[in-house]
Structure 1
Amino acid sequence: MQAGLVGTRIKAKREALGFSQEAVTRLLGFKDRQTLSAIETGERRVSAQELVRFAEVLAAPLTYFTDPFLLAGEGRFSWRQSGVAAPKLETYEQEAGRLIALFRALGAEMGKRPPLLRRSLALTKASSYEDAAAAGERFVEEFRLGDVPARRLTEVMERDLGILVLMVDAIPGVSGAACHLPELDAVLIRRREVPGRRHYDLAHELFHILTWEAMPPERLEDFAAPPRGRVEQLADNFAAAVLMPRAALDRLGPWDGIEGGALAAQLNAAAEELGVTSSALRWRLVGAGLLPKAVAQGVDEALLRNNGRKAPARDLPPLFSKPFAELVAAAVDAGRISARRVAGLLGLAVDDLADAFAAHGVAFDPGL
């Protein structure tokens, strides 16, 4: 373990308990507070004897300070959720953190370097919603997302931006999350959502990753409880423009002069092609000035449900992601970690893990 990570965990546990540096300094018998401060910032290493004392004083198991497959104190999450009880979310955050920590730790073991530079959007809280939409349009152009941006968005985030994207079986009420670490950014998406919702959550969380330093998101975003904060509304405008750029709206139009059932049918067909929901497309058209608000409000909601299908689209992507599966499989093949250990960390049977990786075209030997 790096001294910096041990120190970060010591600080996180101390602050969680409400202890001051002075109090912990006295309990540990250090001569001054600067010693503890140097440990917490990673400037001074901790001896084995000192680590045992930290575990006693902070009432934490030694593994809390030494487990490389754990996020504790160094990761900041922003959860897109609704109605999830705090204890359940805390527990799930620890589980989700293990996925990210596993990728980070094995990446270091396998010589995978984090991106040297991180991309960011030149937006602030003072930016207008039009500015956010324009940034989304430029993102589509500069990264060549094509006529249907939803198809390539994950690939661009992983390959060009170095963002870890994971499809997960999140607990009910959680649709997605962004996680910001000093050396890594990650986005988690509930894979059992309908495709349009998954794509929208992905683009929404991308905005948070690209603007984290300028306007850090709240830890909890309740997407079902208006009014929503300005940062979330900026994220919505960015996401809508990424998935439904003006060129695509024009190509799938015209939109003027049609109402009611005819408009609903056109919305449904266009939404299916773009991989979004009909409702999201309707309001994107209003924001782009291509559809009067009164006309949009006049469409029967029932006609737009499931994009006009009788039942939601059944499109379940495999767990995790191909880059994640490739790295973990390579680490197992190299003897850096056992298949059984990986399965235990991910809460899966070894054979189920092999099946999940095979869905990405990645061979995984469960016997290793």
Structure 2
Amino acid sequence: MPAAALGLRIKILREQQRLTQDELARAFGFKDRQTVSAIENGERRVSADELLTAMKVLKAPIDFFIDPFRLMGEGQFSWRQSGVRHDDLQAYEQGAGKFIAAFRELSPQVGRDARWLRWTLPLNRHSTYEDAMAAGERIAAELDLGDVPSASLADAMERELGILVLMVDPISGVSGAACRLLELDVVLINRNEVAGRRNFDLAHELFHILTWEAMPPEHVEEAAETGGNRVEQLANNFASALLMPGRVVDRFADWRALGDDALGAELRRTAEALGVTASALKWRLVSLGRISRARALGILDAALHNNGHPAQRVEQPALFSRGFAEVIAKAADEGRISLRKLADLMDVAVDDIAGICASHGVEAPYAL
């Protein structure tokens, strides 16, 4: 366990038990609190005897201090959800922390180094919605997302930005999350939602990753394409522009020239092609000045529901991601982790690991 991670876990327990650094120093037999401060900051390693003392004084099992497959205060989450009970969300966060920690721990062991240079957006809470939309269009161009940005966004985030994007089966009410670690950024997306919702959540969480330092997101936010606090509104405008750049939407129609009936039909058709919701496209056209707000209000969202389909169409993407599957398969093949341990961390059956690998075109571990 790296000194910084162990020190952080000691700090978390000390603060939970409302101990000062002076009090902990006395319990350890140190001369002053500076030694505790150095441990908590990762500047000083903990000896075996000191670790035993920590277990006794802080009343925690050894796994709390040294298990690398846990996130103990090392990951900051921002959850996009609706109506989820706090205790349920906390429990799921702990579970998600296991497979995120597994990727963090195993990646360098199998030769996949973390990216230490992070992209950032020059935005803050005082930025305008126009600034956020311009940033979305710019990112779409810089990542070369093409004529259907939603189709290549997840791959570009992993390949170009070093952000781990995982499709997951979360508890009911969770749409997705952004997670910031010292050496890794992660986005979780509920794969059971319709494509338009998934894609918007992905772009929205990308905004949080790229502006985390300037605008740390709330731990919990409501899942909605409109509304929310100012940071969430900026994120929504960024996501809308990234998924629907002006040059892209203008390829489909001369929006100003369409009659009301034709406009509704074209909104549904174009939204389906771009992997977004027709309602989101409608308001994107308003922001681009292609249609007026009055025209947009005249087209009821009910007429755009499900992009005109009678029922929701969910084409479920594969669980987790190709990059994740490559890491766990190689780690298991090299004997760095057992399949049983992997299954526990991923909350799946051992036999499911082969199917997850196959769904991403990755050869399953030999033992399977």
Secondary structure in structure 2 of the residue aligned to 1:78: strand
Residue in structure 1 matched with residue 162 of structure 2 by the alignment: 162
State whether residues 261 and 299 of structure 1, in contact with CA within 8 Å, keep that contact through their aligned partners in structure 2: no
Secondary structure in structure 1 of the residue aligned to 2:137: helix
Structure 1 CA distance for aligned equivalents of residues 285 and 91 of structure 2: 39
Q: Indicate how the Cα distance of structure 1 residues 198 and 359 shifts in structure 2: closer, same or farther if over 3 A, else same.
A: same
State whether residues 330 and 365 of structure 2, in contact with CA within 8 Å, keep that contact through their aligned partners in structure 1: no
Summarize deviations over 1:2-31 as a string: whole Å, max 9, x none: 111100111122223333222322333322
Secondary structure in structure 2 of the residue aligned to 1:186: strand
State whether residues 11 and 73 of structure 1, in contact with CA within 8 Å, keep that contact through their aligned partners in structure 2: no
Report whether the alignment pairs 1:107 with 2:110: no
Residue in structure 2 matched with residue 361 of structure 1 by the alignment: 361
Amino acid at match of 1:86: H
Structure 1 CA distance for aligned equivalents of residues 233 and 20 of structure 2: 38
Report whether the alignment pairs 1:92 with 2:92: yes
Q: Indicate how the Cα distance of structure 1 residues 232 and 163 shifts in structure 2: closer, same or farther if over 3 A, else same.
A: same
Structure 1 CA distance for aligned equivalents of residues 366 and 355 of structure 2: 10
Structure 1 CA distance for aligned equivalents of residues 293 and 194 of structure 2: 26
Secondary structure in structure 2 of the residue aligned to 1:316: coil
Structure 1 CA distance for aligned equivalents of residues 94 and 56 of structure 2: 22
User: Counterparts of 1:292-311 in structure 2 under 5 Å?
Assistant: 292-311=292-311
1:184, distance to aligned residue in structure 2 (A): 0.8
User: Counterparts of 1:54-65 in structure 2 under 5 Å?
Assistant: 54-65=54-65
State whether residues 69 and 102 of structure 1, in contact with CA within 8 Å, keep that contact through their aligned partners in structure 2: yes
1:298, distance to aligned residue in structure 2 (A): 1.3
1:133, distance to aligned residue in structure 2 (A): 0.4
Structure 1 CA distance for aligned equivalents of residues 320 and 88 of structure 2: 21
User: Counterparts of 1:37-76 in structure 2 under 5 Å?
Assistant: 37-76=37-76
State whether residues 191 and 317 of structure 2, in contact with CA within 8 Å, keep that contact through their aligned partners in structure 1: yes
Amino acid at match of 1:53: T
RMSD: 1.6
State whether residues 354 and 366 of structure 1, in contact with CA within 8 Å, keep that contact through their aligned partners in structure 2: no
Identify the range of structure 1 (49-58 vs 341-350) with the bigger mean alpha-carbon deviation: 49-58
Structure 2 CA distance for aligned equivalents of residues 237 and 301 of structure 1: 19
1:89, distance to aligned residue in structure 2 (A): 1.0
Q: Which runs of 5+ in 1 are unaligned?
A: none
Between the two proteins, what is the percent identity of the paired residues?
Answer: 56
Residue in structure 2 matched with residue 143 of structure 1 by the alignment: 143
Residue in structure 2 matched with residue 202 of structure 1 by the alignment: 202
Structure 2 CA distance for aligned equivalents of residues 21 and 116 of structure 1: 31
Q: Indicate how the Cα distance of structure 1 residues 314 and 224 shifts in structure 2: closer, same or farther if over 3 A, else same.
A: closer
Residue in structure 2 matched with residue 279 of structure 1 by the alignment: 279
State whether residues 180 and 209 of structure 1, in contact with CA within 8 Å, keep that contact through their aligned partners in structure 2: yes
Summarize deviations over 1:285-314 as a string: whole Å, max 9, x none: 111111111111111222111110011112
Summarize deviations over 1:113-161 as a string: whole Å, max 9, x none: 2113111111111211101101111111122111100011011100011
Residue in structure 1 matched with residue 174 of structure 2 by the alignment: 174
User: Counterparts of 1:331-342 in structure 2 under 5 Å?
Assistant: 331-342=331-342
Structure 1 CA distance for aligned equivalents of residues 224 and 128 of structure 2: 23
Q: Which runs of 5+ in 2 are unaligned?
A: none
Secondary structure in structure 2 of the residue aligned to 1:256: helix
Q: Normalising by structure 2, what TM-score?
A: 0.96
Q: Give the total of aligned pairs.
A: 368
Amino acid at match of 2:262: A
Secondary structure in structure 2 of the residue aligned to 1:264: helix
Summarize deviations over 1:226-256 as a string: whole Å, max 9, x none: 8511111111111101100001121112222
State whether residues 39 and 45 of structure 2, in contact with CA within 8 Å, keep that contact through their aligned partners in structure 1: yes
Structure 2 CA distance for aligned equivalents of residues 15 and 188 of structure 1: 29
1:225, distance to aligned residue in structure 2 (A): 10
Residue in structure 2 matched with residue 7 of structure 1 by the alignment: 7
State whether residues 133 and 237 of structure 2, in contact with CA within 8 Å, keep that contact through their aligned partners in structure 1: yes
Amino acid at match of 1:204: H
1:85, distance to aligned residue in structure 2 (A): 1.2
Secondary structure in structure 2 of the residue aligned to 1:297: helix
Structure 2 CA distance for aligned equivalents of residues 185 and 37 of structure 1: 27
Residue in structure 2 matched with residue 344 of structure 1 by the alignment: 344
1:112, distance to aligned residue in structure 2 (A): 2.2
Summarize deviations over 1:259-294 as a string: whole Å, max 9, x none: 544322111100000000111111111111111111
1:53, distance to aligned residue in structure 2 (A): 2.1
1:340, distance to aligned residue in structure 2 (A): 1.6
Summarize deviations over 1:343-363 as a string: whole Å, max 9, x none: 111111111121111100112
User: Counterparts of 1:179-258 in structure 2 under 5 Å?
Assistant: 179-224=179-224, 227-258=227-258
Q: Indicate how the Cα distance of structure 1 residues 224 and 210 shifts in structure 2: closer, same or farther if over 3 A, else same.
A: closer
State whether residues 260 and 300 of structure 1, in contact with CA within 8 Å, keep that contact through their aligned partners in structure 2: no
Amino acid at match of 2:75: G
Secondary structure in structure 2 of the residue aligned to 1:323: helix
Q: Indicate how the Cα distance of structure 1 residues 57 and 341 shifts in structure 2: closer, same or farther if over 3 A, else same.
A: same
Secondary structure in structure 1 of the residue aligned to 2:250: helix
Structure 1 CA distance for aligned equivalents of residues 94 and 176 of structure 2: 15
